[in-house]
Copies of this chain bind each other. A is one copy, B any other.
Amino acid sequence: MTSILHVPAANQLLAALPSVERQAFMADCETVELTFGEVLFQPAETVTHVYFPLDSFISLIVVIDGENRLEVAMAGQEGMLGTSLVLGIEEAPLLALVQGAGTALRMTAANFQQRLLDSPVLHQRLKRYLYVVMHQLAKSSACNHFHQIEGRLARWLLMTQDRAGTDQLQLTHEFLAMMLGVRRSGVTISARALQTRGLIRYHRGAIEVLDRQGLIEASCECYNEDRELYAKVLSDL
């Protein structure tokens, strides 16, 4: 399917580094295959590796009251996993669940800490990324509180599409319900509404985005704001 000269998707946090530093960094990484449903971090567990997704992506999930779950962030080729190590903390705060199978670059925590010391450019860039994540966390707190399911579902599908890099998403309503922290049948109702309007089409665990622009209009404004923030803080440098 891919061309013979296929260049593996690059991680955006690393792509912008000066060539020398990037190659030094990547020399310390190994490439790993992540499978759907794999748990990379458990809350309060020690972080042994950081991950830079290439074509995989990972959900960061809060577990509350022992049963309720809510996705609060997502990391794909635009981000990384293990941000707490940027702050020098070796503990994972959240559940990290592989939501899109694929490859990622991985480095040990110790090597990563050393790389941060060696490369101010990298360090600076990752601090900016951390700022973006923090800001998004705060805003999505309000989004989850005030916005209703349909808009949040549309936003979530768009975010996933961006990271999966395809219109075809492998997702059940059940899974979406867990991500959004709502009932399964609540997702069904909203998904049907989006399908009726011709924005998506779905069938037994597969969702296809038909009208991306329409979906953006159906989503809450948070989607655009998130992208603008990322672009503003991480475009240059």
Chain A interface residues toward B at CB < 8 A: 60, 62, 64-65, 68, 70, 72-73, 84, 87-89, 93-94, 124, 127-128, 130-131, 133-135, 137-146, 181, 221-222, 233
Contact = CB atoms under 8 A, between A and B. Distances in A.
Contact of A84 (B65, B70, B131, B144): B131
Contacts of A84: 131, 134
A88 B72 CA distance: 24
B128 A89 contact: yes
A142 B87 contact: no
A142 B70 contact: yes
A181 B142 contact: yes
A146 B72 CA distance: 13
A146 B181 CA distance: 8
Nearest to A123: B88
B70 A135 contact: no
A72 B221 contact: no
Contact of A68 (B64, B146, B233): B146
Nearest to A60: B138
A2 to B, nearest CB: 36
A138 B94 contact: yes
B89 A127 contact: yes
Contact of A134 (B134, B140, B146): B134
B141 A70 contact: yes
Given A64-B139, A87-B131, A88-B127, 15 more contacts: A60-B138, A62-B142, A64-B143, A65-B146, A65-B221, A70-B142, A70-B145, A70-B146, A87-B127, A87-B130, A88-B124, A89-B131, A137-B138, A141-B141, A144-B144
Which of A72, A134, A143, A181 counts the most chain B CB atoms within 10 A? A134
A134 B89 CA distance: 12
Contacts of A221: 65
Contacts of A142: 62, 64, 68, 70, 72, 181
Contacts of A94: 138
A214 to B, nearest CB: 20
A138 B96 CA distance: 13
A138 B221 CA distance: 20
Contacts of A128: 87-89
